[in-house]
Amino acid sequence: MYSSTSQDPTAAAIRLSHQAELTEALADILQRQDLLIRLCKSLIRYGAPSHRIEMAMEAMCKTFGIDGSFAFMPGLMMISFGDSDTHTSETHLIKCAQGFDMGRLARVHKIARALVNGDLDPGEALATLKDINSEKPLYNTWVMLVSFVAYSGFIAPLIFKGSWNDMLASMALGAVVGLTNLLATRYSVYSSVFEVSTSILIAFVAKALRDYVCFTGVVLSAIVVLLPGLSLTTSIMELSSRYIISGSVRMFYSLIYCLFLGFGLSIGSNLWDAFKEPPPGDLRMGYCHPATEPWRWILFPLLGVALSIQLYASPKQWPVILICSSVGYGISELAGLYWPHTLHIAAAVSAFVVGLLGNIYERITHELAFVPILGSILLIVPGGMGVRSTLLLLDESGNASQGTAFALQMILVALGIAVGLFASTLVVYPRKCPVA
């Protein structure tokens, strides 16, 4: 009797201790899984490439000792956590639209790096992530609208070789694109026809101003923020990294998106021609006279600032974006002189130099290389893909070979950019890529 009564309190204490340990361990596991889900979703929302996200998440799973697997498709994130002891698994399907916010992406990247290196507690990281996700955008609606106007206007003489009249017309039409984009974000019904309706309106107005501006330069400058060159380049990078599903889906979407834009531009152009007979010969596309060369170097910093605002980059990120984009633009222009008929080579050389600068910047400062690289690639893509390829959609001959050349040109330029970026990463990180 004495033995049993003396052991009961001890056994109860042991059981309570085990229960407390199990509860604490379970709470810790759930907290880390919640952290991984929120971190993964934040990386997608703020614009990190999907093939780099999976590498970062796998590294953090190893750090936390969690059995997790991740799969991405545009707009959908699939996360599965397994338990080898109980032979059970838990799968999360999360719809998450991808956007761009370079300021918050850089802060999330620092959190991911600190977690992998063991410099940050998971609880503190989760609280910091919640604060970042709850913040308001860095720039309000009016600032973004002004950036639409500036970006469309300054890119006309710099990338699309437009005149001063083209720049002013592109600014006005860029404001229209910004307003319709704001309308599409607020009303989901209109978002389904946003691209086509905007392209029709832009092409109709630009064709009406054909006697004063260059039609093709103005319409492409006005809708430059809608061109899916970056999405196509990302799809090539995903396919090269063996992410077959997400790369194939993104590539197909990019090609169909280009057809949407070309369809709208063709309708708007032909709609004005139905009201007024088009002039013969070269005047069909308007008066195309490039602006004087020295002004391009003055306008480029303004274009870089407008691009930084479009990407929601913080002011401290503006200098590195401007430097890398200036170098990329200069290399692209110089390479275009030596390889005028092989744009994919010029794109590959420019992307390699930009990627080299971006990765060296990351290695020295431990900041995110994707921020300056993205700003530079966005300026390489329109000049190579927007002008030379989209013009084939506007051609009225209807030649099937031109449609084939359009698709091939887009893929080749995107492939050149992807190869250049991968080669630059291999040079700077020959053994192991950075975490995120």
* Residue 82 bridge partners (DSSP): 67, 89
> 170, 221 in Cβ contact below 8 A?
yes
The yes-or-no verdict on residue 419 having pLDDT over 80 is yes
Residue 105, Cα to own-chain centre: how many angstroms?
12
Tokens 């005047």 -> residue: 283
Arithmetic mean of pLDDT, 188-212: 85
Quick check: helix, strand or coil at residue 84?
coil
Higher-pLDDT residue of 27 and 303 is 303
Task: Specify burial of residue 238 (Cβ count, 10 A radius: 0-12, 13-18, 19+).
Answer: buried
d(CA 303, CA 2): 87
- Res. 5: pLDDT tops 60: no
CB atoms within 10 A of CB 222: 30
Backbone angles phi, psi at 90, to 5 degrees: -130, 125
Mean pLDDT of the 333-340 span: 74
Tokens 């950036």 locate to 147
Q: What is the pLDDT of residues 55-71, one digit of tens each?
A: 778 888 888 778 878 87
Predicted local confidence at residue 358, as pLDDT: 86
**CB of 174 closer than 8 Å to CB of 181:** no
Phi, psi (rounded to 5 degrees) for 319: -60, -45
368 near 47, Cβ under 8 Å?
Answer: no
Strands 88-95 and 76-83: antiparallel
CA distances from 324 to 278, 317, 320, 336, 367 (A): 42, 11, 6, 18, 14
Quickly list DSSP for 256-308: HHHHHHHHHHHHHHHHHHHHSPPPSGGGGGB---PPPTTHHHHHHHHHHHHHH
Task: Pull the structure tokens for residue 363.
Answer: 């290695």
Residue of higher predicted confidence among 381 and 263: 263
Q: What are phi and psi of 305, to 5 degrees?
A: -65, -45
Give me 54's structure tokens: 């999976």
Domain boundaries along the sequence of the chain: 27-134, 141-428
- How distant, in Å, are the alpha carbons of 60, 147, 386 from that of 287? 57, 27, 19
Q: Which two structure tokens, joined as six digits, stand for 124?
A: 């503190």
Q: Could you tell me if 40 and 57 are in contact, meaning their C-beta atoms sit under 8 angstroms apart?
A: yes
Of residues 196 and 6, the one with the higher pLDDT is: 196
Q: Rounded distance, CA 204 to CA 198, Å?
A: 10
Across 56-60, 263-267, 305-309, 386-390, least confident range: 386-390
Length of the chain, in residues = 436
pLDDT of 212 > 50? The answer is: yes
Residues 348-380 have pLDDT tens digits of 888 888 889 888 888 888 888 888 888 788 777
For residue 272, which amino acid is it? W
Identify each DSSP E strand in 76-222 by its residue range: 76-83, 88-95
Q: Which long-range contacts (CB under 8 A, 24 or more apart) does 63-72 make?
A: 63/115, 63/116, 63/118, 64/32, 64/36, 64/122, 66/29, 66/32, 66/33, 66/36, 68/33, 68/36, 70/40, 71/245, 72/44, 72/243, 72/246
Percent of the chain past pLDDT 90, that is, above it, reads 2
Task: Report DSSP state, residue 95.
Answer: E
What percent helix, strand, coil does the chain show, rounded to 5? 75, 5, 20
Res. 143: pLDDT tops 70 = yes
What is residue 79's predicted lDDT score, i.e. its pLDDT? 83
Q: What is the pLDDT of residue 266?
A: 79
Question: Angle between the 318-338 and 295-310 helix axes, to the nearest 10 degrees?
Answer: 130
Please tell me which of 4-18, 327-341, 394-408 the model is most confident about, judged by mean pLDDT.
327-341
Q: What pLDDT, on a 0 to 100 scale, did the predictor assign at position 43?
A: 86
Q: What is the mean pLDDT of the chain?
A: 78
- 172 — pLDDT class (breaks 50, 70, 90): very high
Q: Give the bridge partners for 400, in sequence order.
A: none
